[in-house]
């Protein structure tokens, strides 16, 4: 199964993710500041079968396949040869952006299409 919405290059959206972090009242201000500095650096490039991840000048590729999709989201199964178990990631689309849950699942990281 394929989904053309995902294919292309995406970059972590630091501003939109920062708004998400700011909305949480149970995170201390100092921790929010540190968290927000982590975003905006990750780039993902999806082809039909590979996800190329670039962070701090290093790039690696992992196989993926779309296992389910609906009008606003899709689920992909990521296969990393260095890990034994595949990982499922749920991607939610909002216009020209998508978001995924991060950490303990309370926060979302947003990505915007760059190509």
pLDDT digits (tens, 9 = 90+) for 94-114: 988 999 999 888 889 999 999
Task: Please measure the distance between the N-terminal and C-terminal CA atoms of the chain and give it in whole angstroms.
Answer: 22
Residue 98 in domain: yes
What's the number of domains the chain is made of? 1
CATH of the domain at 76: 2.40.128
Q: How many other CB atoms sit within 10 Å of the CB of residue 77?
A: 14
Provide the b/e sequence for 86-99 (b: ≥16 CB within 10 Å). eeeeebebeeeebb
Q: What is the pLDDT of residues 1-43, one digit of tens each?
A: 889 999 999 999 999 999 999 998 888 999 999 999 999 999 9
Q: Is the pTM of this model over 0.75?
A: yes
Residues 6+ apart with CB under 8 A from 45: 8, 9, 10, 51, 52, 54
Q: 66 is in which domain, residue-wise?
A: 8-113
């Amino acid at each position: 199964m394929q989904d053309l919405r995902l294919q292309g290059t995406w970059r972590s959206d630091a501003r939109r993710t920062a708004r998400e972090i700011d909305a949480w009242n149970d995170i201390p201000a100092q921790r929010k500041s540190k968290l927000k500095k982590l975003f905006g650096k990750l780039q993902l490039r999806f082809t039909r079968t590979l996800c190329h991840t670039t962070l701090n000048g290093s790039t690696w590729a992992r196989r993926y396949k779309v296992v389910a999709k609906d009008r606003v989201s899709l689920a992909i199964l990521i296969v990393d040869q260095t890990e034994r178990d595949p990982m499922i990631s749920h991607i939610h689309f909002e216009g020209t952006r998508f978001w995924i849950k991060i950490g303990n699942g309370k926060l979302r990281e947003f990505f915007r299409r760059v190509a």
